[in-house]
Homo-oligomer: A and B are copies of this chain.
């Protein structure tokens, strides 16, 4: 990974950096006592020291994801506080400022709510990764047993090459190897399956979360257009504010577009230069409808698997149900 980073550190400024140069570094970034709390580093450090060797790194990863979630929760709750305070401040101002800050508060509160949903999804992703950790832990004993028997045989062959125990141990080793072969295949299959499942789910959550955030920001900009920022001279009174209908309509529009959003209506799409993969990820053909249906089915499968129901269980369930109704 670090090779890529070292390449990246010296990269040229991006197009949007050229369009608008980066802002100065935030004043909140000076930390005397480190950024994260004690709980966070405790969680991270202990996870790597216990449990079977094989699953330690992933155990640590799962704990670290918990730290991410705690931080996200903090963002969500602080965002909601800020939204309420904005509306509270605006209340004492003139009519238009009051109405618009109130509506901006609604949008910012909604950002906090979106964060909240995202956290719940993040937890599902984390639990799926956790199941890889579990299979890793369970494969460890069979590896250990194989290694132990091999060691014993080598020891006996050196110490007492005529010992009848060697044959017994060699038979035992064959059995252990068979068991280990199965365990390793399970590990390989489950790791890939769950990894793909977990990250597909995670990336879909990010896409939903991000596009909804961008939508909210767009509606926020529309709200700001209603604010009368023509300067007045001292003593002059501002024309009366008549934007109540318009601002309410913007909030209704925002709610509608948020609630109608689905993964199929996502507009941000990566442009891949290798076509063989892009085809599988995003549909650009005119068979979009069919693929969408497939995609939805796939999504449903993901959800079901996450809820612990496998394809076979489902079929069994259906078959069972048909028998009863027949």
State whether the Cβ of A270 lies closer than 8 Å to any Cβ in chain B.
yes
0/1 per residue, A216-243, Cβ < 8 Å to B? 1111111011111101111110100000
Which of A28-36, A144-152, A156-164, A165-173 is near enough to bind chain B? A28-36
Instruction: Tell which of B26, B57, B101, B300 touches A122, judged by Cβ atoms closer than 8 Å.
Output: B26
| Docked pose: A258 CA to B119 CA in angstroms | 25
State whether the Cβ of A277 lies closer than 8 Å to any Cβ in chain B.
yes
Give the interface SS of chain A, mostly helix, strand, loop or mixed: helix
0/1 per residue, A5-26, Cβ < 8 Å to B? 1001001101110011111111
Which residues of A in the span 199-219 have a Cβ within 8 Å of any Cβ on B? 199-200, 202-204, 206-211, 213-219
State whether the Cβ of A143 lies closer than 8 Å to any Cβ in chain B.
no
Given the contacts A36-B78, A85-B60, A220-B199, A121 and B204 also touching, CB distance less than 8 Å: no
**Chain B residues with Cβ under 8 A from A281's Cβ?**
218, 221-222, 225
| Docked pose: A121 CA to B213 CA in angstroms | 16
Instruction: Tell which of B8, B119, B253 touches A28, judged by Cβ atoms closer than 8 Å.
Output: B119
**Chain B residues with Cβ under 8 A from A106's Cβ?**
1, 4-5
Given the contacts A16-B263, A65-B82, A303-B21, A196 and B89 also touching, CB distance less than 8 Å: no
Which residues of A in the span 23-67 have a Cβ within 8 Å of any Cβ on B? 23-29, 35-37, 40, 44, 57-58, 60-61, 64-67
**Do A71 and B69 touch across chains, with their CB atoms under 8 A apart?**
no
